[in-house]
Amino acid sequence: MNTTSPLITVTDAWRLYGSLNQDQALAGATLAVDKGEFVCLAGPSGSGKTTLLNLIGLLDLPDKGQITIMGHDTMSLTLRQRAIFRRCSLGFIFQAYNLIPVLSVAENVEYPLILRGKEKQERAHLVERALKLVEISQHALKRPGELSGGQQQRVAVARAIAGSPPIILADEPTGSLDSGTGTALMNLLLRLNQQLGITFIFSSHDPNVTSRAQRIITLRDGKVAHELTETKEKRRKCSPPQSSENT
Ligand code: ADP
């Protein structure tokens, strides 16, 4: 019997829009994620994936329901406590990379570490380590605009992992990439999950991406429609060893 509490629990989460709250982006979503999992939120466009990731990422508040992360009832945190929690415990990867174009690759990765109050020397060490982990050190001084889409997304991954957050949330991380580059990116995320023990929750509606997950949680109309746990054997078959450098 598993006696440890899940890392993340979402209980009966609702997110409503419209003047009469008639639009239900989430309509009673309930799920739990354990430490170290590699979980995909699947489901058609409009099913609530981004809304749910935004709630777990403390970027938004539910109209009703409870979200507990690492033992903290996030609904009872103040705005400032939410910001600190987000900065220290959560990493984010977005479909559009969201890099700052005027900063170099290294400066993009360093920026959140400045917000976290890390000293210059430690920042330099953490940036170097993160760039090495995503195999992009040789581009450290370039601007994002000088890189391919796959390389830019790896910079975004480096930025997300640099401060060693226990949880990374990725909203359609391969959505702007071609399928080969998307596969390489998923290989990278899976390697970081296994190597660093980071819990990943990512969203996708692409079967080539969802099939890489250890567990697929499918949303429909703002609710969890079903869950599917893949065997490790199947994941290994989907994941040929390859360097991400050719992306
Ligand atoms: P997905 O990520 O699965 O495509 P979303 O979470 O983005 O789905 O959206 C779920 C539903 O909520 C959609 O019908 C969307 O139009 C609606 N929605 C999301 N955000 C807003 C908003 N800020 N205002 C109004 N409706 C919204």
pLDDT tens string 213-224: 999 999 999 999
Residue having the nearest C-alpha atom to atom 1 of ligand 1: 46
In whole angstroms, how far apart are CA 243 and each of 21, 126, 156, 189, 237? 48, 21, 17, 12, 16
Q: Give this prediction's pTM.
A: 0.91
The answer to whether position 84 is within a domain reads yes
Question: Whole domain around residue 150: which residue ranges?
Answer: 35-58+79-238
> Ligand 1 centre from 46 Cα, in Å?
6
Pocket of ligand 1 contains residue 43 by CB under 6 Å: yes
**Cα separation, 240 vs 114, whole angstroms:** 36
Q: What pLDDT score was predicted for residue 229?
A: 85
For residue 195, is it within any domain?
yes
pLDDT band at 22 (very low <50, low <70, confident <90, very high): confident
Instruction: Look at residue 82 in the predicted model and tell me its pLDDT.
Output: 96
Tell me, using a 6 A CB cutoff, whether residue 45 lines ligand 1.
yes
Distances (CA, A) of 128 to 7, 180, 185: 29, 26, 19
Which pLDDT does position 231 carry in this prediction? 53
Residue 208 counted as domain residue: yes
Instruction: Give residue-wise pLDDT tens across range 90-105.
Output: 999 999 999 999 999 9
Share of the chain above pLDDT 70, in %: 92
> Could you tell me if residue 42 is inside a domain?
yes
Query: Domain of 193: which CATH number?
Result: 3.40.50.300
Distance 14 CA to ligand 1 centre (A): 12
The pLDDT of residue 227 is: 87
Residues 70, 35 contacting (CB under 8 angstroms): no
Q: What's the whole-number average pLDDT of the chain?
A: 92
Give CA torsion, residues 223, 213, 215, 174, to 10 deg: -10
- CA of 43 from ligand 1 middle (Å) equals 13
Specify if 1 maps to a domain: no
Q: Is residue 12 part of a domain?
A: no
Within a domain: residue 94? yes
Q: What is the number of domains present in the chain? A: 1
